Chain A
Amino acid sequence: MEKKKRYYPLPIRVTVWVLTVLLLCGGVALTALGGVGVALGEKATAQARIVKPYLDSYASKAAESYAREGAVEKLPAPYSYVITNERGEVLAATYDGGAYLASSSDTHHRKHDADVTVTVYCPPADTLTGNSPMEQAVRLVTVAVSGCRGYLIGGLLGLCLSVAGLVFLCCAVGRRRDGGVALCWVDRIPFDVFTLLWAVLCGLCGGLLRLPFGGALRVVLLLAAMLCLAVLLTSWLFSVAVRAKSGTLWRNTLIGGLWRALQRASAAAGRHLPVVWQVVGVLLAVSAAELLALLAFDLLTRRLLVLWLAEKVLLLPLLLWAALGLTRLHGGLRRMADGDITHQVSTRHLTGGLKAAAEDINRLGDGLQEAVEQQIKSERMKTELITNVSHDIKTPLTSIINYVDLMEKENPEDPTLQEYLAVLSRQSARLKKLVDDLLEASKASTGNLSVDCAPCRLNVLLEQVVGEYSERAQAADVTLCPAYPNETVTALADGRHLWRVLDNLLCNVCKYAQPHTRAYLDLTAEGNTAHIVLRNVSREALHISADELMERFVRGDDSRHTEGSGLGLAISRSLMELQGGGLNLTVDGDLFKVELTLPLAE
């Protein structure tokens, strides 16, 4: 892989390309020559086979002319002939009876006279030095046959070398020094257009061979055409390689572009056009295409037109009916997706697959509805269970609290007893708080609380809250630093619930903040949201993450000896969510930061 990506400078690549093209042309020519030689077999036979067609044509021409005019027009240079009648008498001859390469006879039948037979002879190959096509062909065959193996091997070797060069060039082409892929202007032409252009150019090269030039010029033409073809084919191959490397081979095609544009257009139409109009549009397009095709191939007869129209007229209502059914199904699905799961799709006028689909959608809706009802029921049962259990716990708890209180009033002399009573009193108070919090957490998390959101002036609310807490904060040796903006921030909130949240948070501040520090309470409005941020420094190191702090029954202190249930933050978050806001907790070292968000009132 590493080798493939190496960069080769332009001169090296051009040199290799030139060599490859030359090797390719030479290899093709030599291989063709060698192949012809091998195919023709032994030398003398091959020469004779090449000469034969020429001799045949001369013999028949000569026989005909003799029969018609009683004489033979002059044969070109190396040929000689003998004319005999049917009895074998020689009528005329230029043949001297020497050695010959090949001969051909033709007999012409005459109606009123004896038949004549003309035999044309070609002299041996080594005497053929002229420039006639026959002599050139014989010389070429002589060359081909005499060295055929060598040519074939050389040609194949050249081809192999050129293939190696091509592989190398395909790897090296388009590679930039930094390993990226460089596309030149040729590679930016859409691939199908490019291929077509190159095919036309190749065709032009082939056309060169049709020019009426003979002799040496023809050989030059042949070579030129071959070179041009080789250059075109190799450059096409390189462009393919570059495109493949940059991944634009299929992407950058005219057809692909058109296809994608069509897809985009149809997708857009699918989203914005009603199904009925889509169907009508497609039908119209198909009909127009059919009509055009029929007209183009001249197939449109009157009878066919009538049939065609009848088909369309039958098809249109059928398609419209299906499209309307689909629209209805889609409408039903959309209403269910929007939350109206009690919606039922009407199955009237629907048959077959559409009806089955409608029924399935209705069943889906029923299933969903049932699941939601189950869920609601189970949530309600859970809340009810917690509520009832809480009430049942409260009754014995009342007795415990009261009798502990009564025992304390008895003023026991024994200090140990007093100490025990203090423990009972403290723990029963804690149990009371725990039960209350549990009840509230259950209600808040299941949304089983009435929420009455109204415009609420947060500046005023925070002033009230700070006023409530100023003395408790002083007692805990924490300075409350509220900061409000000058303009009033009015949010949509339920004041009682928001108070519960802030009560909880400030209670935490008084309990857990490091004495001798400040707690900041900032109010800001951003966009559509009001932010209340409370920051304080924790007394104990907070070893747990903000997420864990939010979980129920978890508190920041490792030892669980302080009062509180650990439900406060969970309740607060639930209450904020019930009001359409949020609660975010951040722990940064000892800095404890709570951010409340609420939607602003209009």
Chain B
Amino acid sequence: MAHILICDDERDIVSALRIYLEAEGHTTCVAYTGRQALDVLAREKVQLVLLDVMMPEMDGIAALAALRQQYNLPVILLTAKGEDTDKVLGLNVGADDYVTKPFNPVELLARVRSQLRRYLSLGAEPVPQEDCWQVGGLLLDDRQKRVTVDGEPVNLTPTEYEILKLCMNNPNKVLSPREIYRQVWQEDPIGAEGLVAVHIRHLREKIEINPADPRYIQMVWGRGYVLRSGEDV
């Protein structure tokens, strides 16, 4: 298991996080300011950082910018600031994920697992072969009709599988429900596009850590759905 740095000026949160992470089998080290975090990183071999944004001495964004100059390890920002602009800023500076306080421990642990898997085991995976598509931690192998998220296999119904395949074939392209219906059901939707929304919802519940804040299949309200890939995932 991994060695994780927890950095937050709120000691109670730090100890709660230690308890959760150590229960999962990780080892932890702690820092209470951005500067301490950089010191710890210099001293110890750390595989993942949980970083608060609002901290004394050096805030999370500054610390993140500083550590990104040296380290490649995954960083999850952990903050009370939940606005879109804060998220965009954090991700742009170099965070790999963004969790807002108060967080759900289960979700946080899932995100930690996901980041670790990507960093430790999948990070170096070679470019997938023919009939395989990969977007972030999402992998679709069409020969085996198998889908994995961060290495974990996911059970999809045939319709969900077809929709995901269509989306992965057209990454970053907005697909309207009508288009998806035509491609997947192979017939004209006559007032049946509503079905697509239901299937997409199920699909999201299966492949996303937090379906209300999806990483992969995102809603473009009033236009359709898009599978995000590349830098902005």
Chain B residues contacting A403 (CB-CB under 8 Å) are: 12, 16
Determine whether the beta carbon of A463 is less than 8 Å from that of B193: yes
> Taking the complex as formed, is A156 at the interface, i.e. its CB lies under 8 A from any CB of chain B?
no
Q: How far is the CB of B21 from chain A (nearest CB, A)?
A: 12
Distance of B232 from chain A, by nearest CB (Å) = 16
B198 and A461 within 8 A (CB): no
Q: What CA separation (Å) do A335 and B88 show in the bound complex?
A: 39
Chain A residues lying within 8 Å of B176, measured Cβ to Cβ, are 460
Judged by a CB distance under 8 angstroms, whether A468 is at the interface is yes
Any chain B CB within 8 A of the CB of A357?
A: no
Q: Is there a chain A Cβ closer than 8 Å to B122's Cβ?
A: no
**Least CB separation from A468: chain B residue:** B201
Given that A391-B54, A405-B105, A467-B196 are known contacts, is A398 also in contact with B13, CB under 8 Å in the complex? Answer: yes
| Complex Cα gap A400–B105 (Å) | 12
- For the complex, is A66 an interface residue (Cβ under 8 Å from B)? no
Contact A456 B223 (CB under 8 A): yes
Assess whether B223 is in contact with A463, with CB atoms less than 8 Å apart.
Answer: no
- Quick check: is B194 within 8 A (CB to CB) of the other chain? yes
CA distance A466 to B197 in the complex (A): 8
Of all chain A residues, the one with the shortest Cβ separation from B53 is A391
Task: State whether the Cβ of B222 lies closer than 8 Å to any Cβ in chain A.
Answer: yes
What per-residue 1/0 map shows which CB atoms of B1-35 lie under 8 Å from chain A? Answer: 00000000010110011011001000000000000
Report chain A residues within 8 Å CB of B224. 460
Instruction: Tell whether, in the assembled complex, residue B177 and residue A460 are in contact, meaning their CB atoms are under 8 Å apart.
Output: yes
- Given A402-B13, A460-B177, verify A391-B194 contact (CB < 8 Å): no
Residue interface bits B34-72, CB-to-A below 8 A is 1, else 0: 000000000000000000001000000000000000000
Cβ-defined partner of B194 (8 Å) among A450, A463, A493: A463
The 0/1 profile, CB within 8 Å of B marked 1, for residues 472-503 of chain A is 00000000001000000000010110110000
Contact yes or no, A463 B197, CB < 8 A? yes
Say yes or no for B80: interface residue by CB 8 A criterion: yes
Alpha-carbon distance A344/B20, docked complex (angstroms): 64
Residue B219 interfacial (CB < 8 Å):
yes
Find out whether the CB atom of A482 lies under 8 angstroms from the CB atom of B105: no
User: Do A468 and B220 have beta carbons less than 8 Å apart?
Assistant: no
Within 8 A of A (CB), among B153-197: 176-177, 193-197
**Cross-chain contact A399 with B222 (CB below 8 angstroms):** no
Report the interface size for chain B: residues with CB under 8 A from the other chain: 35
Give chain B nearest CB distance to A387 CB in angstroms: 8
Question: B20: which A residues are within 8 A, CB to CB?
Answer: 402, 406
Of all chain A residues, which has the CB nearest B84? A450
Q: A397-B102, A398-B102 are in contact. Are A467 and B197 (CB under 8 A)?
A: yes
A162 to B62, CA, bound (A): 108
Please determine whether B223 and A460 come into contact, CB atoms closer than 8 angstroms. yes
Q: Are B197 and A464 in contact (CB under 8 A)?
A: yes
Contact A395 B221 (CB under 8 A): no
Which B residues lie within 8 Å of A471 (CB)? 198, 201
- Measured CA separation A391–B83 after assembly (Å): 11
Q: Is B223 in contact with A399, judged by CB distance below 8 angstroms? A: no
Name B202's closest neighbour in chain A (CB-CB).
Answer: A471
**In the complex, how many angstroms separate the beta carbon of B85 from the nearest chain A beta carbon?**
8
Contact at A395–B10, with CB atoms within 8 Å? yes
Docked Cα-Cα span, A464 to B195, in Å, equals 9
Q: How far, in Å, is B88 (CB) from chain A's closest CB?
A: 11
Across the interface, name the chain B residue whose C-beta is closest to A494.
B221
Identify which of B19, B85, B102 contacts A432 (C-beta below 8 A).
Answer: B102
- Closest Cβ neighbor of A448 among chain B residues: B83
Best-buried of A409, A432, A468, A499 by chain B (most CB within 10 Å): A468
B194 and A467 contacting across the interface, CB-CB below 8 Å: yes
Chain B residues, Cβ within 8 Å of A366: none
* Bound CA span A450–B85, Å: 10
Is A395 a contact of B101 with CB atoms below 8 Å?
Answer: yes
Contact across chains for A395 and B80 when beta carbons are under 8 A apart:
yes
Contact B222 A495 (CB under 8 A): yes
A580 to B: closest C-beta gap in Å:
15
Complex interface: chain B residues within 8 A of A468 (CB): 197, 201
Measured CA separation A215–B103 after assembly (Å): 126
The answer to whether B81 has its CB under 8 Å from any CB of chain A is yes
Interchain Cβ contacts under 8 Å between A and B, 10 examples: A395-B10, A398-B103, A401-B104, A402-B105, A406-B20, A456-B222, A470-B194, A470-B197, A482-B194, A493-B222
Please name 7 further chain A to chain B contacts, defined as beta carbons within 8 Å, in addition to the given A399-B13, A432-B102, A463-B177, sorted by A numbering.
A397-B102, A406-B19, A457-B223, A463-B193, A467-B194, A467-B195, A495-B222
Query: Lowest 9 A-B CB distances belong to which pairs?
Result: A467-B197, A495-B221, A456-B222, A402-B16, A394-B80, A461-B222, A398-B102, A391-B80, A399-B12
